Amino acid sequence: MALEDDIAFFEQVPTFAALGKQALQVLAIGAETRHLQSGAVLFYAGEMADAGYLVQEGSLLLEPGTFSDSKEFSVGPGTLVGELALLTDTVAPATAIAREPTTVVRIPRTLFRKMLEGYPVAAQRLRDLMASRVDAWTNELSTVQKALKKEP
């Protein structure tokens, strides 16, 4: 893909859309494209995660780790996997397996952090986006807690 195409693709991802074209250009230039054959493992549950992966083509099956009660599910083009790993040390909660020939864009944490340092407006927009998500999750949790209290 051409650089402009990569930037346009990144703009379709909610987390990246708020960052702005210049910040996305930095990510697009520094990101790595990986091609996976069907059945190939991108990463394993329990491994240290140092990057986020944006599914460009194909799909990934995410199988939860041993200590998770989550169910497996599939993600396709435009999905950002490992978003938290872009910002902080974390462990992959699931194993990611290519369901078919799949292309992902790997965005290392070091690249993402340098981009945020170079574009403070992008960092502020990301902070605002994350804060609004936390508020929404808090409201959802409050609604669930109220519903549970009403049950006999």
**Tens digits of residue pLDDT in 89-133:** 999 999 999 999 999 999 999 999 999 999 988 888 888 888 887
Q: What's the total number of domains in the chain?
A: 1
Per DSSP, the three-state class of 85 is helix
Integer Rg of the chain from CA:
17
The more confidently predicted of residues 87 and 148 is 87
Cβ–Cβ < 8 Å for 9, 56: yes
Domain assignment of residue 109, given as a range = 3-150
CATH of the domain at 12: 2.60.120.10
Rounded to a whole number of angstroms, the distance between the first and last alpha carbons of the chain is 57
35-59 pLDDT per residue, tens: 999 999 999 999 999 999 999 999 9
Mean pLDDT score across all residues of the chain: 89
- Return d(Cα 8, Cα 109) in angstroms, integer: 21
